[in-house]
Chains A and B, each alone.
Chain A
């Protein structure tokens, strides 16, 4: 009898894991990428707050505030027509080709702090690239629309994302600022959908959610 129950429970376990493979909710892991200070964490925080009530990480004016990738799982985004998408958001450190501690000194950091920040930021870029290779299903590529998008690093990153055949949504952020020029970003990446938002004041964020459902769902 005991043996029967043991076998029964084993079979049951197997069967349920077999079923769950088919019926578990579809989940997409979305990485928020972009150069430092584009507003990646601000957007990640907004998405997390709008749909789960939590936050992802601290933000600051000093570049490379996010030096470790942070993940928020199981965010269910629902659109106006009732469609939903379940995503994991990965907020990544800003990707750049040069990190120099001198750039942090002007923000009032002392030398030692700045040197440590530079080292951690370097590790952070490596980590962001690792995630991109291993565990990302789609990318939100975030750009500061007050800054020229034709920087080597952006062209290179979008190229890398394209070569990995990941769906990418380009977000032109900071449109609340007067000098913002989302049109410039649109002309830089005509092959991808571009949406202009302000992740700080939430302008157009609803449209972004609709696009995410359409694009990553």
Chain B
């Protein structure tokens, strides 16, 4: 069964992944699952999508907003991203956790993993002179 945007009425094929990003026409986040035969009811019978929803007893599906980009940035796997020569993005939270280095190049998801940095013995904490 196809989906229909509750805001502008645009229809999407069943299983369409497009709706996960919100409606392509109006950016709406709510979609109704409609039967094939009811698909054009809103236009033909001048019904609102709310009414169709009540008639067909289908819940309106809400697509959740994507997580903020910034959060994603600090969840990243790499310690250092080389954006270009002489341009770096550093993940200091990752650096605070250990000396392991994963370096990514550009934005294309290319990673270099410094394997040696993972197996190095962590130097024992020197005894403080107190």
Contacts and interface: CB of A to CB of B under 8 A. Distances in A.
B62 to A, nearest CB: 30
B96 A133 contact: yes
B57 interface: no
A129 B126 contact: no
Contacts of B101: 126
A49 interface: no
Interface stretch (A152-160, A169-177, A183-191): A152-160
A132 interface: yes
B92 A122 contact: no
Given A129-B95, A133-B96, A160-B96, A27 B130 contact: yes
Taking chain A's interface residues, is the majority helix, strand, or loop, or is none over half, making it mixed? helix
A115 B92 contact: no
A194 interface: no
B96 A115 contact: no
B86 interface: yes
Given A24-B129, A27-B130, A118 B86 contact: yes
A206 B126 CA distance: 32
A130 B92 contact: no
Contacts, number: 72
Given A111-B86, A114-B86, A134-B123, 9 more contacts: A96-B90, A100-B88, A122-B80, A130-B95, A133-B96, A133-B98, A135-B126, A137-B128, A160-B93
Contacts of B96: 129, 132-133, 160
Contacts of B80: 122, 126
A156 B87 contact: no
B92 to A, nearest CB: 6
Contact of A125 (B83, B92, B128): B92
10 contacts: A97-B91, A97-B92, A111-B86, A115-B86, A118-B87, A125-B92, A132-B96, A137-B128, A156-B92, A160-B92
